[in-house]
């Protein structure tokens, strides 16, 4: 039954992920052949710096000319693990033009240009698979695209960035501040030298855009995703969270509006109850909740990054794409038929936890409560603490549109008796 001419794979990038892909393709060649129905051969590996290629990667396959590799004409599948927008975008497009299907782990590119790439794939009858772009080894793209294809997803809520989860977990368990926890993450290799993409939530926002698009069968671009990083989260916030029976996580939240006519996608730190399964996701692990009409609540958990886990997702896609090639078929392409618009953050309905520094005198609480009432924001609980003429008020609201909550905070800042807004954090997962 097995075809003898091997399928040829071009690997673009040979860093942490690429070298694992090359290693597994070599050591597990027989298994891959049996599962695909034909042998699969690494035809070339494009790298920027040939001197830095890792042990175990076949040197004779290395080239610095990625474009020539992709244009060779005999490549069946291009595996792109370079990351970033260019040259990845041009190489992928060129791959499609030369008859190859593509497996990519590139979240930034897919979040920014997914629609154009899907269109190019469809035009050339090729596949574009990207399980590795979201939450590493955790099967998430395929379950959403395929397993839940007969269901209606209403919500995706998850921890999709391991670096920030490591830092927040550290702050939670050790009482450390943000910079101390970041230093530890850097020392242990969980954070990069420049941690901006992680801690400012650009990475998580790209994943949220991809997940929202697939979940709701619409187009969600990176710019549509509301984004707040987690560099302002303090040890005091964790103390407040504990008093509420909560912890703090950086969450990606994609929701269908109650009327079903729009969707929202956002990434920000939030308090969640300790009883919520996401609260116990430790270290650099990722976990994503999916709520669907018929299926109910599903959770997917696992390592969200790292060379081997990401390679596992890449190779799963590679097997599928190779099978499609052999069967002269293509897998599911972009599904954006609902054309649901993405609403701005102001329309998201959520809850706020607000800490105010206020003057310690009678009537302050009444004043503050009036501001909430004027903005139609209902208060759930208030905690008041006073000492030495200073006092603090901690207010937790009921659910209200983010715009109303935000306007309330603006008005509170304008009160003479409010000396400062110490912190604002959303409360989710209840």
Q: Provide the annotated active-site residues.
A: 207
> Measured between alpha carbons, how far is 327 from 329 in angstroms, rounded to an integer?
5
Angle subtended at Cα 162 by Cα 158 and Cα 168, rounded to the nearest 5 degrees: 85
Min CB(308)–its own copies separation in Å: 4
Look at the alpha carbons of 96, 98, 103, 105 in this order and tell me if their dihedral is positive or negative. Answer: negative
Residue 146 or 390: the one with the smaller Cβ distance to its own copies is 146
Min CB(413)–its own copies separation in Å: 42
Residue 243 or 280: the one with the smaller Cβ distance to its own copies is 280
Residue 169 or 317: the one with the smaller Cβ distance to its own copies is 317
Residue 179 or 280: the one with the smaller Cβ distance to its own copies is 280
- What are the tokens at 7? 């399928």
Residue 144 or 201: the one with the smaller Cβ distance to its own copies is 144
Which residues partner with 273 through β-bridges? 246
> Measured between alpha carbons, how far is 86 from 144 in angstroms, rounded to an integer?
28
Min CB(146)–its own copies separation in Å: 6
Which residues partner with 128 through β-bridges? 102
Interface positions with its own copies (CB under 8 A): 20, 24, 28, 31-32, 34-35, 131, 137-139, 142-143, 146-152, 217, 277, 280, 292-303, 306, 308-309, 311-320, 323-324, 327-330, 332, 335, 337-338
Min CB(324)–its own copies separation in Å: 7
Min CB(300)–its own copies separation in Å: 6
> Measured between alpha carbons, how far is 15 from 325 in angstroms, rounded to an integer?
27
314, 351, 426 from 94: Cα distances, Å: 20, 47, 44
Min CB(335)–its own copies separation in Å: 6
Residue 130 or 352: the one with the smaller Cβ distance to its own copies is 130
Min CB(312)–its own copies separation in Å: 4
Look at the alpha carbons of 198, 202, 204, 207 in this order and tell me if their dihedral is positive or negative. Answer: negative
Residue 137 or 233: the one with the smaller Cβ distance to its own copies is 137
């Amino acid at each position: 039954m097995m075809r003898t001419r091997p399928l040829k794979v071009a690997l673009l990038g040979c860093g942490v992920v690429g070298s694992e892909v090359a290693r597994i393709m070599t050591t597990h060649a027989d298994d891959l052949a049996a599962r695909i129905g034909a042998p699969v051969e690494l035809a070339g590996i494009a790298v920027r710096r040939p001197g830095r290629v890792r042990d175990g990667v076949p040197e004779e396959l290395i080239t610095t000319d990625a474009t020539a590799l992709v244009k060779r004409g005999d490549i069946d599948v291009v595996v792109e693990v370079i990351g970033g927008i260019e040259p990845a975008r041009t190489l992928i497009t060129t791959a499609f033009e030369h008859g190859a299907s593509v497996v990519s782990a590139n979240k930034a590119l897919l979040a920014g240009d997914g629609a154009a790439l899907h269109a190019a794939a469809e035009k050339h009858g090729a596949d574009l698979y990207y399980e590795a772009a979201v939450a590493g080894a955790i099967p998430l793209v395929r379950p959403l695209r395929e397993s839940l294809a007969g269901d209606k997803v209403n919500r995706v809520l998850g921890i999709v960035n391991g670096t920030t989860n490591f830092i927040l977990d550290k702050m939670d368990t050790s009482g450390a501040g943000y910079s101390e926890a970041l230093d530890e993450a850097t020392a242990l290799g969980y954070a990069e030298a420049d941690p901006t993409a992680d801690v400012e939530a650009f990475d998580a926002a790209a994943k949220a855009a991809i997940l929202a698009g697939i979940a709701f069968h619409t187009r969600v671009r990176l710019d549509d995703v509301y984004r707040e990083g987690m560099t302002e989260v303090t040890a005091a916030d964790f103390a407040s969270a504990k008093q509420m029976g909560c912890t703090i996580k950086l969450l990606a939240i994609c929701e269908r509006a109650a009327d079903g006519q729009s969707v929202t996608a956002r990434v920000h730190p939030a308090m969640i109850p300790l009883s919520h399964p996401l609260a116990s996701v430790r270290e650099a692990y990722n976990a994503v909740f999916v709520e669907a009409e018929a299926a109910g609540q599903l959770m997917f958990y696992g390592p969200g990054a790292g060379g081997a886990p990401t390679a596992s997702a890449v190779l799963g896609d590679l097997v599928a794409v190779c099978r499609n090639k052999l069967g002269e078929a293509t897998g599911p392409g972009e599904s954006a038929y609902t054309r649901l618009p993405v609403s701005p953050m102001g329309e998201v309905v959520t809850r706020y936890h607000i800490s105010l520094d206020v003057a310690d005198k009678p009537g302050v609480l009444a004043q503050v409560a009036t501001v909430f009432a004027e903005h139609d924001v209902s208060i759930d609980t208030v905690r008041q603490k006073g000492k030495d003429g200073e006092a603090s008020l901690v207010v937790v609201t009921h659910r209200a549109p983010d715009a109303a909550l935000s306007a309330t905070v603006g008005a509170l800042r304008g009160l003479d008796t409010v000396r400062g807004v110490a912190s604002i954090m959303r409360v989710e997962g209840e």
